[in-house]
Structure 1
Amino acid sequence: MTSHAPLQKPITPFPGAPTPTFAPTSQKPTAQTSLRTPSNRKTIYDRNLNRTRTAELSRASFAYLFAEIVSYAQKRVTGIQDLEKRYIIPPSPIVYLLPTLNDTLRTRLSNLGHPLGLRLLPLLLHRTSPSPLSSSSPLPTRPTRIIPLLNFIARPLWTHLFGRPADAIEHSASAASDNEYMITDNEPLVNQYISVPREMSQLNCAAFVAGVVEGVCCGCGMGAGVSAHWVGGEEDGGGGGKGREGEMWPGKTVFLIRFEEGVVEREKGGGG
Structure 2
Amino acid sequence: MLQYAQKRVNGIQDLERKLNEFGYRVGARQLELLSWREKNAKRETRVLGVLYFIHSVVWKTLFGKQADSLEKSTENEDEYMISDNDPVLTRYISVPKELSQLNCNAFIAGIVEAVLDGCQFPARVTAHSVPTDAHPLRTTILIKLEKEVLQREELLK
SS at match of 1:164: coil
Q: Distance in 1 between matches of 2:43 and 2:83?
A: 23
2:26 maps to what in 1?
116
Amino acid at match of 1:146: V
SS at match of 1:143: coil
Q: Distance in 2 between matches of 1:219 and 1:163?
A: 22
1:169 maps to what in 2?
70
Q: Distance in 1 between matches of 2:43 and 2:23?
A: 20
Is 1:201 the equivalent of 2:100?
A: yes
Shift of 1:154: 0.6
- 4+ runs deviating over 6 angstroms: none
Count of equivalent residues? 157
Is 1:146 the equivalent of 2:47?
A: yes
Q: Distance in 2 between matches of 1:112 and 1:168?
A: 24
Identity value in percent: 47
Amino acid at match of 1:162: F
Provide structure 2 residue ranges, at least 5 long, that are not aligned to the other structure: none
CA RMSD of aligned residues (A): 1.2
Is 1:182 the equivalent of 2:81?
A: yes
Trace 1:118-133 onto structure 2 (pairs within 5 A): 118-129=28-39
1:210 maps to what in 2?
109
Trace 1:96-111 onto structure 2 (pairs within 5 A): 107-111=17-21
SS at match of 2:44: coil
Amino acid at match of 1:269: L
Shift of 1:122: 2.3
Q: Distance in 1 between matches of 2:67 and 2:43?
A: 20
2:2 maps to what in 1?
70
Q: Distance in 2 between matches of 1:156 and 1:210?
A: 16
Provide structure 1 residue ranges, at least 5 long, that are not aligned to the other structure: 1-68, 85-106, 130-138, 232-240
2:144 maps to what in 1?
258
8 A contact 1:125–1:142 mirrored in 2: no
Amino acid at match of 1:163: G
Amino acid at match of 2:21: N
* Greater radius of gyration (CA): 1
Q: Distance in 1 between matches of 2:45 and 2:95?
A: 38
Q: Distance in 1 between matches of 2:74 and 2:138?
A: 20
8 A contact 1:228–1:256 mirrored in 2: yes
SS at match of 2:110: helix
Amino acid at match of 2:37: R
Shift of 1:257: 0.4
1:93 maps to what in 2?
none
8 A contact 1:181–1:257 mirrored in 2: yes
Tell me the TM-score normalised to structure 1 length.
0.56
Q: Distance in 2 between matches of 1:168 and 1:154?
A: 8
Amino acid at match of 1:118: A
Q: After superposition, what is the alpha-carbon deviation per residue over 1:95-130, rounded to whole angstroms, capped at 9, x for unaligned?
A: xxxxxxxxxxxx11000010211111121122121x
Tell me the TM-score normalised to structure 2 length.
0.96
Q: Which has the higher helix share?
A: 2
Shift of 1:185: 0.3
1:270 maps to what in 2?
156
Shift of 1:144: 2.1
Q: Distance in 2 between matches of 1:155 and 1:126?
A: 17
